[in-house]
Amino acid sequence: MQFFPTMSIFLRIGSLEIRWYAVCILTGALVAYYLATREASKVGYSSDFLDDTFIGIMLFGIIGARLWYCAFYDLAGYLADPISIIRIWDGGLAIQGGLVAGASFIYFHTKRNGVQFLHLADIVLPNVLIAQAIGRWGNFFNQEAYGNVVDESYFDGILSFLKSGMYIDYEYRQPMFFYESMLCLLGFILIRLFRKYSKTYRGDGLFGYLGWYGVIRFWIETQRSDSLMIGNLKTAMLVSAVFMAIGVAGLLGAFRKKIYSEKPVIIFDLDGTILDTQEAIYASFKHSFETHCPDLILTEEDYASFLGPTLKQTFEKYCPQASAEKIAEMIETYKKHNREVHRQLVKPMPNVTKLLKYLKENDYNMAIASSKMTDTCRLGLEVTGLNDYFEVVIGLDQVKNPKPDRETIIKAIRALKGYFTNAIYVGDSESDVISAKNAGVYSIGLTSNKMLLQSLIDAKPNVLIDDMIEIIDILQEEHLWTVNLK
């Protein structure tokens, strides 16, 4: 085993050679992957989806970068020796070809998986800058991406460590790879700070990347002497001009109307949100506990805790010694009593009927995502005259993992053929808000139960409302309709 720290070969084991070029590109990709997935996982993306995305971007990005390079560097030569096309370890990747291919993969990948392209692109592309900043050092070891001839004194001072690597064809060259690397790093930091501390819109991560990289690459190409050409024009300058135009126009809001034209899907919790079922829930729990655990004494705080968890979770909490069979019996007693009192005790929450009528008239797609059984949800909607507003109702019996897991909400969104990156979940409990965050959707917390108010506030929904009718005003505003990122 041999190391070659100042040559193009990083490591040699027998006949196997690992080049610095590959090490730099892979290191940059892994750093970008880590940063992007850390952010993406917080807004509802599953690890499987993110892994598939990373592999796809890497594969298509490398293929696109290589084909772009071969096409504009020496197409005839590569066609004459097709095997040489796959020898990427010798150098020869054009980042702009990789960007086009990688972005194309993201577009079709998101479309296939019911995700908004711009939402994922906003997360991924700014982190590509850090991959480029690291990957550019592969050009240093391959002695690529250099500029015009300069005097040896050019490397006096802080650039002295680059001097030996920039002695190419018996002359010293400008280290354009280094300038691009540093500018990519600066752009990564600036866009990250902008997205964290400024008001942002959908697409700003993408547009920020295109604008920044377009500018720096355009300037870099004015100095480089080893650029890819199309006729008498540098291909990178042409593409950079397009990047700049799209990026600046996007940041100035030229596409904002189109981006925000698609209405979000709206998913509702049932109890305490659409229906006032508190009296029926309390009565049914009281009846079940009196039947099966007559010695249990319940406080107002205990009754308040019944709202949100599943029946199984509540009965196991208050009767920890009960067997599984006993818990199942208690649940059946509750369900039977609850159905009997539905018509008498269940009613719509204030202004819900007015809200639902407005949403239906304005073509919003709506669904229920609840921890109750689907048939019980339907019964409540039927006795209150709200059944026709909801074609999709996802209850406890339709999921493996109840709230606060994301599954109930995601299943409702998919049934509506919507995007979790363009969805709202409305609920009245801490569990509802946590579910929304796990799913990556915009959360609205309804302060209908004062006993649950503090825990609801602590859960930090995107917005709190005191009346369901307030949702109409919220829908008139520009929002990303995803979980808070800041």
Q: Say which DSSP state 172 is in.
A: E
How many residues make up the chain in this entry?
Answer: 486
Q: Which of 122, 204, 269, 432 is catalytic?
A: 269
Q: Is 130 exposed, middle or buried (0-12, 13-18, 19+ CB in 10 A)?
A: buried
* Dist CA 446 CA 350 (whole Å): 11
Question: Are the C-beta atoms of residues 412 and 440 closer than 8 Å to each other?
Answer: no
* Dist CA 237 CA 348 (whole Å): 61
The backbone torsions φ and ψ at residue 436, rounded to the nearest 5 degrees and listed phi first, read -60, -40
* Dist CA 485 CA 271 (whole Å): 28
Q: Find tokens 């990564």 and name the residue.
A: 188
Q: How many CA atoms lie within 13 A of 111 on its CB side?
A: 6
Q: DSSP letter string over 253-304?
A: TTTHHHHTTSPPEEEE-SBTTTEE-HHHHHHHHHHHHHHH-TT----HHHHH
388 classed as catalytic:
no
**What are residue 18's DSSP bridge partners?**
11
AA identity, residue 217: R
AA identity, residue 330: M
Q: Is 297 exposed, middle or buried (0-12, 13-18, 19+ CB in 10 A)?
A: exposed
Other C-beta atoms within 10 Å of 460: how many? 15
Question: Are the C-beta atoms of residues 421 and 115 closer than 8 Å to each other?
Answer: yes
CA dihedral 381, 351, 434, 452 (to 10 degrees): -100
Give me the active site residues, please. Answer: 269
